[in-house]
């Protein structure tokens, strides 16, 4: 049986940790497993490489930036392979391109197009432990490209899918919790969670897994285990909903504090004007969410949406362009709100979930503003000052 392990940068932050991971992998190999390891860059290596690039150029060429960033993972896999060889194990390190990972899209945020597992299989069949650099692949031009945030998780799931293997993601947390324990220390760990719920939680602010990795798992039916490095299997399994026995309306609550709410008010209603606003936002590739509009009885339009704080410079450019096009637009940015989201596939079969959510907030005098829903989530914005009490009361209400 083939198992794909992925280890994050914190698990491989220094040589002592690399040696410990190597020893652990060696023991698994002794038990007869065929092992592929996907590794991230050590600790803060990627950030350090980006900082060096920006000391050379404020806007480094993105092709060269990819070439530079890819060296972080290559350093890790070579050292880990050396550590395994030192333990008497036959091991080989491969870059993403050597492992058969082909990418498409833009530098620094490419997507995996395909994986050819032929070379990996050949090494496994010859008794080797294969160590693959995550976060990278090669595009049609023969350039190394990187996969953006969570790219090593995506690499691991893609390799597992191509090899028909199990996928185990090891990190510095011991599983996925219904609520971030740093925000709510009494949070309960989730034993099993569906692909759909995990994708929704990731989209809404949960940082444990990257959405693209979970999407690949769902598409190719690869169960994904998430747990703490060097610990027994007491983490969380991401799998098909049909395989989950527990039935509850809410699985988890996420918080997103990295948002601005943008209000555009008192516009004379016009389909072309609304289209122009979103065309301008799209021009700057802004990721927007929680879109709502209200047409008043007097025929004016109020429009609102959320935007990531990390994209503030792009948002400001878009607003300047909109103001330049029309003096009628009144735009307000509200930085003091957070988005609170409840996720659960059980919402499909349970009635009254929204009522329970808003009754709980109202009972504790917590104002809620913008509201959006999907089939398996309810999101609203609240003031930052109400974050703790809102989480505590909703966690108690839904037994999280």
Query: Model confidence over 141-181: pLDDT tens digits?
Result: 999 999 988 899 999 999 999 999 999 999 888 899 999 88
Contact 145, 352 (CB under 8 A): no
- Tokens 């028909």, located at residue: 164
Range of the domain at 18: 2-172
Q: What is the average per-residue pLDDT within 183-195? A: 91
DSSP line for 8-42: -GGGGSSHHHHHHHHHHHHHHHHTT-EEEEEEPPS
DSSP line for 33-76: -EEEEEEPPSTTHHHHHHHHHHHH-SS--HHHHHHHHHHHHHHH
Confidence check: pLDDT of 326 > 70: no
- Partners of 305 in the beta sheet? 262
Confidence check: pLDDT of 5 > 90: yes
Confidence of residue 3 (pLDDT cuts 50, 70, 90): very high
Contact 103, 112 (CB under 8 A): yes
Confidence check: pLDDT of 217 > 80: yes
- In terms of Cβ atoms closer than 10 Å to its own Cβ (0-12, 13-18, 19+), residue 358 is middle
Confidence check: pLDDT of 375 > 80: yes
> Is residue 197 domain-resident?
no
> Is residue 162 domain-resident?
yes
Q: What is the average per-residue pLDDT within 282-305? A: 82
Residue 6 has which token pair?
């992925």
Question: Who has greater pLDDT, 204 or 223?
Answer: 223
Q: What is the average per-residue pLDDT within 291-299? A: 79
Contact 354, 250 (CB under 8 A): no
Strands 330-334 and 259-268 turn out to be: antiparallel
> Is residue 227 domain-resident?
no
> Is residue 274 domain-resident?
no
Q: Residue 248, SS3?
A: coil
Confidence check: pLDDT of 270 > 80: no
Confidence check: pLDDT of 394 > 90: yes
Confidence check: pLDDT of 335 > 70: yes
> Is residue 58 domain-resident?
yes
pLDDT of 386 reads 93
pLDDT of 303 reads 84
Q: pLDDT > 70: what percent of the chain?
A: 98
pLDDT of 266 reads 75
pLDDT of 52 reads 95
Closest CA to 258 of 291, 289, 213, 292: 289
Confidence check: pLDDT of 352 > 70: yes
Question: Who has greater pLDDT, 314 or 161?
Answer: 161
pLDDT of 318 reads 87
Confidence check: pLDDT of 327 > 70: no
Mean pLDDT of the chain: 90
Contact 222, 198 (CB under 8 A): no
The CATH number given to whatever domain includes residue 43 is: 3.40.1160.10
User: Could you tell me which residues come within 8 angstroms of residue 221 by beta carbon, excluding any fewer than 6 positions away?
Assistant: 240
pLDDT of 246 reads 66
Confidence of residue 236 (pLDDT cuts 50, 70, 90): very high
> Is residue 144 domain-resident?
yes
> Is residue 97 domain-resident?
yes
> Is residue 313 domain-resident?
no
pLDDT of 293 reads 81
Total Cβ atoms within 10 A of residue 122: 11
- In terms of Cβ atoms closer than 10 Å to its own Cβ (0-12, 13-18, 19+), residue 57 is exposed
Helices and strands (DSSP H and E) totals, the chain: 11, 20
pLDDT of 118 reads 96
The count of structural domains within the chain is 1
pLDDT of 245 reads 61
Q: What is the average per-residue pLDDT within 330-339? A: 84
- Partners of 380 in the beta sheet? 340, 371
């Amino acid at each position: 049986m083939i198992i794909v392990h992925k280890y994050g940068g914190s698990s491989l932050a220094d040589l002592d940790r690399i040696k410990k991971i190597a020893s652990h992998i060696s023991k698994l190999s002794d038990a007869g497993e065929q092992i592929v390891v996907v590794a991230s860059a050590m600790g803060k290596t990627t950030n350090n490489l980006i900082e060096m690039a920006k000391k050379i150029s404020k806007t480094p060429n993105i092709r060269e930036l990819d070439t530079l960033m890819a060296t972080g993972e290559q350093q890790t896999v070579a050292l880990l392979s050396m550590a395994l060889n030192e333990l008497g194990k036959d091991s080989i390190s491969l870059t993403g391109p050597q492992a058969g990972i082909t990418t498409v899209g833009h530098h620094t945020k490419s997507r995996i197009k395909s994986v050819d597992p032929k070379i990996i299989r050949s090494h496994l069949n010859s008794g080797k432990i294969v160590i693959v650099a995550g976060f990278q692949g090669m595009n049609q031009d023969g350039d190394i490209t990187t996969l953006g945030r969570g790219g090593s998780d995506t690499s691991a799931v893609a390799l597992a899918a191509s090899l028909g293997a199990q996928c185990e993601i090891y990190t510095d947390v011991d599983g996925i919790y219904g609520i971030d324990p740093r925000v709510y220390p009494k949070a309960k760990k989730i034993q099993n969670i569906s692909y759909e719920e995990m994708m929704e939680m990731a989209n809404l602010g949960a940082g444990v897994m990257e959405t693209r990795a979970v999407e690949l798992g769902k598409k190719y039916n690869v169960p994904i285990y998430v747990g703490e490095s060097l610990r027994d299997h007491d983490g969380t399994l991401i799998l098909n909903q049909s395989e989950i026995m527990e039935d509850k309306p809410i699985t988890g609550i996420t918080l997103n504090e990295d948002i601005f709410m943008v209000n555009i008010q008192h516009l004379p209603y016009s389909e072309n004007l609304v289209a122009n606003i979103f065309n301008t936002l799209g021009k700057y590739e802004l990721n927007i969410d929680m879109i709502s509009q209200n047409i008043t009885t007097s025929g004016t339009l109020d429009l609102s949406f959320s935007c990531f704080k990390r994209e503030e410079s792009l948002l400001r450019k878009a607003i300047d362009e909109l103001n330049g096009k029309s003096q009628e637009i009144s735009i307000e940015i509200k930085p003091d709100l957070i988005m609170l989201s409840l996720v659960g596939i059980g919402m499909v079969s349970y009635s009254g979930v929204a009522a329970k959510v808003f009754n709980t907030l109202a009972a504790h005098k917590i104002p809620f503003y913008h509201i959006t829903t999907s089939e398996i989530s309810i999101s609203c914005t609240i003031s930052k000052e109400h974050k703790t009490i809102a989480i505590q009361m909703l966690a108690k209400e839904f037994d999280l």
